[in-house]
């Protein structure tokens, strides 16, 4: 898997090492575990998917590009794989999920791997998690029509937000908070599930 990641442009050695360390097969149902190291998204129930390894690598690499954030917020826990990768790279991760059974399962996956620096919150991630702000990094794993203002507002100065944006056509957008405002860059075309309102 790591060789394939390198070929797709994931060159950050720390990101590659973290992805080598986290067993992706442990995050999907046993019936599809044999496909866990293919570069493809896989179903995790409730109409959601675990992102492909390349997408996880790319988003993590973008998040760490300007240095290592200490405290990171993830919106969209899903099965917890991205959070587990982040846990190996930064000091503290908070992850938000709107579907309670998915969050419970993700919590179990991380406990089984003895990962203890990730905190789980069952909330609507549109509003971020102001109780833990400011965040040095925010990674959103579901697509929004535009960058949610609440997420920008919760970024620390020097912090970075990585989020897929768009409905039909989606792109990975990176937002940096500078001392004077926000700098936005539109990146690679991507395909994510939508950021939905309300709790389940």
Per CB under 6 A, residues contacting ligand SAH are 48-51, 75-76, 78-79, 81-82, 96-99, 102, 124-126, 141-142, 193, 195-196
The CB-of-42 to ligand SAH minimum distance in angstroms stands at: 9
What is the DSSP annotation of the chain? -HHHHHHTT---HHHHHHHHHS-GGGGS-GGGGGGTTSSS-EEEETTEEEPPHHHHHHHHHHHHTTS--SEEEEE--TTSHHHHHHHTTSSEEEEE-S-HHHHHHHHHHHHHTT--SEEEE-S-GGG--GGGPSEEEEEE-SBBSS--HHHHHTEEEEEEEEEEE-SSSEEEEEEEEETTEEEEEEEEEE--PBP--S--
Q: Name which of 50 and 174 has its Cβ closer to ligand SAH.
A: 50
The CB-of-179 to ligand SAH minimum distance in angstroms stands at: 29
Tell me if 137 sits within 8 A of 90, measured CB to CB. yes
Q: Name which of 25 and 183 has its Cβ closer to ligand SAH.
A: 25
Tell me if 94 sits within 8 A of 107, measured CB to CB. no
Q: Is 51 a catalytic residue?
A: yes
Q: Name which of 62 and 126 has its Cβ closer to ligand SAH.
A: 126
Active-site residue identified among 51, 52, 87, 146: 51
The CB-of-181 to ligand SAH minimum distance in angstroms stands at: 26
Q: Name which of 22 and 174 has its Cβ closer to ligand SAH.
A: 22
The CB-of-12 to ligand SAH minimum distance in angstroms stands at: 18
Active site residues: 51
């Amino acid at each position: 898997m790591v060789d394939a990641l390198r070929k797709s442009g994931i060159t950050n050695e720390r990101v590659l090492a973290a992805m080598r360390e986290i067993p992706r097969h442990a995050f999907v149902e046993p019936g599809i575990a044999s496909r866990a190291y293919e570069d493809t998204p896989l179903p995790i129930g409730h109409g959601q998917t675990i992102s492909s390894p390349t997408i996880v690598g790319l988003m993590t690499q973008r998040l760490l590009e300007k240095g290592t954030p200490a405290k990171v917020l993830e919106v969209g826990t899903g099965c917890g794989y991205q959070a587990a990768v982040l846990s190996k790279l930064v000091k503290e991760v908070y992850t938000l999920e709107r579907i309670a059974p998915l969050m419970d399962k993700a919590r179990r996956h991380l406990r089984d791997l003895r990962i203890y620096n990730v905190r789980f919150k069952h909330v609507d991630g549109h509003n971020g998690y102001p109780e833990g702000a400011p965040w040095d990094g925010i990674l959103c794993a579901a697509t929004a029509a535009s960058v949610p203002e609440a997420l920008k507002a919760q970024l620390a100065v020097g912090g970075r937000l990585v989020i897929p944006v768009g409905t039909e056509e989606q792109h990975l957008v990176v937002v940096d908070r500078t001392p004077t405002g926000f700098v936005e860059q539109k990146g690679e075309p991507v395909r994510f599930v939508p950021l939905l309102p309300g709790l389940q």
